């Protein structure tokens, strides 16, 4: 942890030495993910890490809120079918014991968590821990940025929720309103150092662009732009079908021999949380992106690093990245799907492996969706956000860039 960062130090102290619920926020690139990673390594409390989606949960090293708390998909309001199901749904003994022992519940990407889902979590925690205390007396650490991706609420669902909630966002949770939540905003931006660009990002984030800022952004609009293949541009799109179309067209344009690598999947590893393609089609000359950090001491690559395949056969892949003196010989890696278990003697919470996914940590990278780009950093980017359909998408896309 950056000991010179007062907000990070404050967040660390609140987690370690208080039982206050904490909302840790900050602009893109301020160190929220790094804070969580370091907390996981050294937390003095019995904790579990959750997130609203499978991909976010895998990235955070945890499980989804729905799976751990066995929450139904749909509006959760008192008297509703979902509420009745939750009341009668049996949670296995192991999870009950974990809840009873739990000190700290971490929820990453909290901006995507709906208010009714958080109230559903409250109901489960009260049921098995302390009935008369919000969230059963468990401390919450909620991490995210409300200016980024928002919760998904269909019109018919909001019609049901509107009588009970001011908004669909987590902070409208009735249980959370009963607590004294501490908000800590991280201020120092590590991703960007260009003061002018940071100012532009802040104006986009706060929806207060002036004419001068519009003009500055529009200088980066280049009609019919054709990127230099040596610069490894990646296109950020709003929809999967657009990203898939770009990747397919670029891959088909390569005349080199195709190779297909199938993932090895064992145990419980649902398809909706696959961290890399199950069937990975690659060719020499293809632009690829690493989808995981290098855990070795060499640290040759990181999640989001882009390069080009310079050598490939059925048994090996070599990738050359801009600025690197040597190519990277890529090896297959294992992702683990975990569940939390409780040691009955010590009452300590630990992780148990329930499934694994073994594949090269690569994906085609001429284009990806803005949603999948969250948390990543790119050197050269084309942003195709004209079909943006949700709050925060444009800001997320722009803030992936360094300058």
Evaluate if residue 34 carries a pLDDT over 80: yes
276 DSSP assignment: S
Residue 184 has pLDDT above 90, yes or no: yes
Long-range contacts of 210-218 (CB under 8 A, 24+ apart): none
Residue 229 has pLDDT above 80, yes or no: no
324-342 pLDDT tens trace: 889 999 999 999 888 878 7
pLDDT at 192: 67
CATH number of 6-186: 3.40.50.300
What pLDDT does residue 86 have? 56
Residue of higher predicted confidence among 37 and 107: 107
What average pLDDT does the segment 273-288 reach? 93
pLDDT at res. 142: 96
Q: What is the mean pLDDT of residues 65-89?
A: 70
Q: Is there a contact between 228 and 253 (Cβ–Cβ < 8 Å)?
A: no
CATH 2.30.30.940 is held by the domain 234-333+358-399: yes
Confidence class for position 98, pLDDT limits 50, 70, 90: very high
Q: Which tens digit of pLDDT belongs to each residue from 114-172?
A: 999 999 999 999 999 999 999 999 999 999 988 887 888 888 888 888 889 999 999 99
* Segment 286-306, tens digit of pLDDT: 999 998 888 888 889 888 889
Inter-axis angle of helices 115-128 and 81-88, nearest 10? 30
Q: Is 120 left (phi over 0), alpha (psi -120 to 50) or beta?
A: alpha
At 323, is the pLDDT very low, low, confident or very high (cuts 50, 70, 90)?
Answer: confident
Percent of the chain with pLDDT strictly greater than 70: 95
Note the pLDDT of residue 81. 58
Nearest-5° Cα angle at 142, 140 to 143: 150
Q: Do domains 6-186 and 234-333+358-399 have the same CATH topology?
A: no
Tokens at residue 69, please? 């708390």
**Could you tell me the pLDDT band of residue 1, with boundaries at 50, 70 and 90?**
low
- Residue 183 predicted with pLDDT over 90: yes
Residue closest to 26 by CA, chosen among 6, 45, 44, 42: 6
Taking residues 14-28, report their average pLDDT: 91
Structure tokens at 154: 């269909």
Highest mean predicted confidence (pLDDT) among 3-12, 194-203, 321-330: 321-330
Domain ranges of the chain: 6-186, 234-333+358-399
SS (H, E, C) 15-53: HHHCCCCEEEEECCCCCHHHHHHHHHHHCCCCEEEEECC
Task: State the chain's mean pLDDT as an integer.
Answer: 86
Question: How far is it, in rounded angstroms, from Cα 234 to Cα 302?
Answer: 16
pLDDT, residue 2, reads 59
Calculate what percentage of the chain has a pLDDT beyond 90: 41
Q: Does pTM top 0.85 for this prediction?
A: no
The pLDDT of residue 361 is: 94
Integer Cα distance of 265 and 258 in angstroms: 22
Closest by alpha carbon to 352, among 293, 268, 295?
268
């Amino acid at each position: 942890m950056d000991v010179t960062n007062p907000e990070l130090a404050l967040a660390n102290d609140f987690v370690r030495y208080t039982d206050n619920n904490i909302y840790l926020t900050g602009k893109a690139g301020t160190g929220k993910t790094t804070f969580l990673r370091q907390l996981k390594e050294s937390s003095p409390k019995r904790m579990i890490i959750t997130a609203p989606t499978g991909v976010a949960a895998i990235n955070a090293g945890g499980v989804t809120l729905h799976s751990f708390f066995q929450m139904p998909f749909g509006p959760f309001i008192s008297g509703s079918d979902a509420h009745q199901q939750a009341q009668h749904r049996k949670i296995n003994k192991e999870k009950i014991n974990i809840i009873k022992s739990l000190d700290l519940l971490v929820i990453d990407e909290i901006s995507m968590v709906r208010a009714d889902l958080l109230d559903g979590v409250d109901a489960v925690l009260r049921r098995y821990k302390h009935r008369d205390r919000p969230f059963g007396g468990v401390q919450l650490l909620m991490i995210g940025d409300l200016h980024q991706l928002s919760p998904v609420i269909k019109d018919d669902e909001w019609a049901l929720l509107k009588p009970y909630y001011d908004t669909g966002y987590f902070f409208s949770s009735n249980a959370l309103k009963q607590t004294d939540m501490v908000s800590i905003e991280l201020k120092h931006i590590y991703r960007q150092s260009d003061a002018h660009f940071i100012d532009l990002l802040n104006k986009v984030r706060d929806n207060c662009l002036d004419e001068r800022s519009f003009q500055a952004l529009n200088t980066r609009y280049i009609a019919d732009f054709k990127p230099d293949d040596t610069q490894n541009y990646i296109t950020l799109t709003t929809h999967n079908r657009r990203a898939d179309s770009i990747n397919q067209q670029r891959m088909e344009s390569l005349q080199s021999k195709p190779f297909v690598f199938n993932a090895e999947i064992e145990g419980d590893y649902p398809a909706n949380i696959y961290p890399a393609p199950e069937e990975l089609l690659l060719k020499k000359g293809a632009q690829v992106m690493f989808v995981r950090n290098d855990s070795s001491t060499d640290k040759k690559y990181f999640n989001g690093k882009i390069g080009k395949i310079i050598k490939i056969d059925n048994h090996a892949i070599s990738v050359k990245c801009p600025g690197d003196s040597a190519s990277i010989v890529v090896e297959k890696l294992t992702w683990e799907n975990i569940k939390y278990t409780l040691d009955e003697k010590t009452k300590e919470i630990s992780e148990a492996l329930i499934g694994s996914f073994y594949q090269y940590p690569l994906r085609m990278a001429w284009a990806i969706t803005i949603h999948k780009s969250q948390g990543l950093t790119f050197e050269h980017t084309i942003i195709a956000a004209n079909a943006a359909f949700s709050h925060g998408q444009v800001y997320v896309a722009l803030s992936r860039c360094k300058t």
